[in-house]
Amino acid sequence: MDRRIKIGIIGTGGISHFHMAGYASLVNVEVSAACDMDENRLKTFGSKYGVRQLYTDYNEMLSKEELDGVSICTWNNSHAPIAVAALGAGKNVLCEKPMAMNTKEAEEMRDAAKKSGKLLMIGFVKRFGKETGICRDFIEKGHLGDIYYAKASYLRRCGNPGGWFADLKRSGGGPLIDLGVHVIDQVRYLMGRPDAVSVSAVTFNNIGMRYDIKGIERYKASDYNSYCDVEDMASALIRFDNGAALAVETSFSLNIKEDSANLELFGTKAGARLEPKLEIYSQMEDYLVDISPRYHKGDKVFDEMFMRETAHFVDCIANGANCLSPAQDGVELMKILEAAYASAKAGKEVVIDK
């Protein structure tokens, strides 16, 4: 890459700092502009990272700045209008997960990318984890056989971030759309991206924010308050068109001992567990064997995933690399999430239209 790639960041809340760190680690990449409707937060961001061109209106930034790409790090309900505007302005886009609030918005974003000829990459950051990459190597070499079932969970005991995360109008939902999207996408990616055909789900809202709990540290949204109208916990069974199925559980508030993340795949030749570390369970010479691939796992796993994700986005822009998280995958995830919430509301399985 010979020329300097210029990036703009829209939304300077918590997740934007991971994007910024990723871009800052790359040679010949400059974050030259940032935008946020909160002017004080925007100025703090600009001062911290030396970003000089600051805007409170993303349309103004898109029209004035010559940018190769933008990261969208805003509330979920603004992903679609910002992405469509950025693509229309000739910018490549890396949009945080979830892609949108619903399937219709996601399809509009995808279509805008096709029309503009620009890249729309969805921020499925777990695809860039070391465990995911190593497990995918084993799967592609046939060591797991056909994967026919998976279990995944992302559970917090007292981890509702509040603010916009707990506001249905801005977030689109609670832990299912915020946390569940990670593991659902991770499983679908490792399965070879099958399309979902139906979802049977339940959601519960029995505990609430737990904003009065003392003695713990937890992440809080910058606009944290006690309001909450999203689910505490969700559980779903997702069926795919290749016959495989995924059982997923996710929570912001749940009466468990401690927070946990788990992902297990079950294949005809072997099984695999990716959390808390990668292990493969198989048989050799008529013995059951457990395989633990050796790899370096750094201290800042989350940071490193974002560094690989932003590096891939820049590689796609500068060198035409094949995008690992294309817009259509975001559309498919929105179909699953939308069907899950519809199933929970209706109290029955929902079939996903093709």
Q: What is the CATH number of the domain that holds 26?
A: 3.40.50.720
**pTM of the predicted model over 0.85:** yes
Question: Are residues 179 and 271 both part of a single domain?
Answer: yes
Strand partners, 251: 155, 233
pLDDT at 254: 98
Question: Are residues 153 and 287 both part of a single domain?
Answer: yes
Question: Are residues 212 and 156 both part of a single domain?
Answer: yes
| 203 CB-contact burial (10 Å; exposed 0-12 / middle 13-18 / buried 19+) | buried
Question: Are residues 274 and 146 both part of a single domain?
Answer: yes
What residues make up the domain containing 34?
A: 5-126+304-325
Contacts of 236 (CB under 8 A, 6+ apart): 176, 180, 199, 200, 201, 202, 247, 248, 340, 343
Question: Are residues 65 and 155 both part of a single domain?
Answer: no
Domain total in the chain: 2
pLDDT at 3: 80
pLDDT at 2: 64
3-state secondary structure of 236: strand
Question: Are residues 188 and 214 both part of a single domain?
Answer: yes
pLDDT in tens, the chain (354 residues): 568 999 999 999 999 999 999 999 999 999 999 999 999 999 999 999 999 999 999 999 999 999 999 999 999 999 999 999 999 999 999 999 999 999 999 999 999 999 999 999 999 999 999 999 999 999 999 999 999 999 999 999 999 999 999 999 999 999 999 999 999 999 999 999 999 999 999 999 999 999 889 999 988 998 888 899 999 999 999 999 999 999 999 999 999 999 999 999 999 999 999 988 899 999 999 999 999 999 988 778 889 999 999 999 999 999 999 999 999 999 999 999 999 999 999 999 999 987
Question: Are residues 337 and 199 both part of a single domain?
Answer: yes
**Per-residue pLDDT tens digits for 162-217:** 999 999 999 999 999 999 999 999 999 999 999 999 999 999 999 999 988 999 99
Question: Are residues 292 and 149 both part of a single domain?
Answer: yes
Dihedral, CA of residue 102, residue 108, residue 109 and residue 110, to nearest 10: 110
Give the C-alpha separation, 202 to 342, whole Å: 9
Question: Are residues 203 and 238 both part of a single domain?
Answer: yes
Question: Are residues 235 and 100 both part of a single domain?
Answer: no
Q: What is the CATH number of the domain that holds 293?
A: 3.30.360.10
Question: Are residues 165 and 225 both part of a single domain?
Answer: yes
Question: Are residues 247 and 135 both part of a single domain?
Answer: yes
